[in-house]
Amino acid sequence: MNFEKNHVANAYARFPVNFISGKGAVLTDTEGKKYVDFVSGIAVCSLGHCEETVVEAIKSQAETLMHVSNLYWNGPQLELAEMLCSHSFGDRVFFCNSGAEAVEAAIKLARRRGHLKKGPDCHEIVCLEGSFHGRTLTALSATGQPVYQNGFQPLTSRFTHIPPDDTAALELAVGPRTAAVMLEPILGEGGVRPLSGDFLAAARKLCDRFEAVLIFDEVQVGMGRTGSLFAYEQTPVVPDVMCLAKALANGFPIGAVVATEAAMEFLPPGTHASTFGGNPLACAAATAVLKVMTAEGFLGKVGKLGDRLRQGLEDIAGRYPDVVLECRGAGLIQAMELKVAVPDLAMQLLDDGFLVLLGHGRILRLLPPFTITEEQISSLLAALEKRIAVIKPEL
């Protein structure tokens, strides 16, 4: 296949591969070559490609009703909201179509709440250096990575970025003008960095003290990825607002903001809206996902497979201490950080038949579907070790 000449915007650096089908953890390209997927469309197809019950839900909803405006009620939206709330701290859900939109809605909620509850100056939002919250202009302003922001200034104002796990910096940043603290409980795109329980507890305490909302961006780590349905369940704190997207409908576009009644109260009619948000088709797909994920024993498997993957990565790290810096993660979001940049590593593993993510040329991020098998994990680890074995350590 020739990818040189085409009419698609050149906004992505892409691997030279074109996939035509997928089943479970295996993808097939136009040449008929098969790959084991440790990316899942970046934490999207967590139940595996073309999972049967999700396919069935989409088919049957498409034949019944695909879209109605939010001027009216629809059953699938009511059902999904009820399921999300009964399995979380939430009382109400605002639906949209992507992670950035969920972040955007959470920020609007926090700002409006700050204005009305505390006064017109209370619009500051504290985020983390190295965080990732999406690419719309305001989600980008929240994102703590200047590389993504360069060229797009002026950004939305009043976002402060502090180093992850720096409680002293957090105490200095949060005050009477703070509308929200927004955190990924594990920084995903920023290199799989779990935040400490102490830091999260400090954030909760400061938000309570200054009447700010605590927002968890669980767009990447939510929906079972860490081994519990939501990542906050494995921390000592409960947020007021949580952003979801990626795996929520296993590949069908959807985003959601889950919030307490006291927080969602600040988005009354007329304050925010989305044409497609919460349409019956997307909600039917997401409801099918939640039914699978909340079935007895299902998520326990994620923890076990995650432990297997982690142990394998740690074993490699132990054998190549000059090349591997450390391993980090929880459940089936795992990373191996190298001491040296090997920008070709993802391409090498693609040749070997594996899809992986590589950040900054040094951070290997693995996000396999939950249907990955022990054998598939072992085969990736074997291929990875062969590639690691020939990396020259930095002298």
Q: Which is nearer to ligand PLP, 192 or 305 (CB)?
A: 192
> What whole-number distance in Å separates Cα of residue 8 and Cα of residue 373?
35
Draw the binding track, 47-86, toward ligand PLP (x: CB under 6 A; -: no contact). ----------------------------------------
- Can residue 306 be called a binding residue for ligand PLP (CB under 6 A)? no
CA 158 to centroid of chain Cα atoms: 24
296 CA to centre of own chain: 24
Tokens of 283: 């909600």
369 binds ligand PLP (CB under 6 A): no
The one catalytic residue in 94, 246, 252, 354 is: 246
Shortest Å distance, C-beta 365 to ligand PLP: 11
Beta bridge partners of 355: 37
The single residue of 38, 95, 216, 217 carrying the catalytic annotation is: 217
Chain residues 194-223 in contact with ligand PLP, contact rule CB under 6 A: 217, 219-220
Contact 207, 213 (CB under 8 A): yes
Residue 250 is given by DSSP the state B
* Closest-CA residue to 298 (of 356, 202, 371): 371
217 is catalytic: yes
Question: Looking at 95, 132, 230, 266, which residue is catalytic?
Answer: 132
- The answer to the question of residue 245 lying near ligand PLP (CB under 6 A) is yes
Give yes or no for residue 174 binding ligand PLP (CB under 6 A).
no
Cα angle for residues 271, 273, 277 (degrees, 5° grid) = 155
User: Rounded distance, CA 296 to CA 118, Å?
Assistant: 43
The sheet that has 357-359: what strands, in order across it? 324-330, 333-338, 363-366, 357-359
Strand-strand pairing, 178-183 and 124-128: parallel
By CB under 6 A, residue 240 contacts ligand PLP: no
Q: How many residues bind ligand PLP (CB under 6 A)?
A: 15
Residue 98 binds to ligand PLP (criterion: CB under 6 A): yes
Minimal distance, residue 188 CB to ligand PLP, in Å: 5
CA distance 229 to 341: 34
Asked if residue 189 binds ligand PLP (CB under 6 A), the reply is yes
Contacting residue, 35, 95, 132, 370, with ligand PLP by CB under 6 A? 132
Nearest residue by C-beta to ligand PLP? 99
Q: Is 332 in the site for ligand PLP (CB under 6 A)?
A: no
Q: Judge whether 246 counts as a catalytic residue.
A: yes
CA distances from residue 76 to 65, 82, 188, 289, 290 in whole angstroms, order as listed: 10, 10, 30, 13, 12
104 sits near ligand PLP (criterion: CB under 6 A)? no
Q: How far is the CB of 184 from ligand PLP (least distance, A)?
A: 5
Asked if residues 318 and 305 have their Cβ atoms less than 8 Å apart, the reply is no
Q: Is 384 exposed, middle or buried (0-12, 13-18, 19+ CB in 10 A)?
A: buried
> Is residue 184 close enough to count as binding ligand PLP by CB under 6 A?
yes
Can residue 100 be called a binding residue for ligand PLP (CB under 6 A)?
Answer: yes
> Which parts of this chain interact with ligand PLP (CB under 6 A)?
98-100, 103, 132-134, 184, 188-189, 217, 219-220, 245-246
Query: Could you list the active site residues?
Result: 132, 217, 246
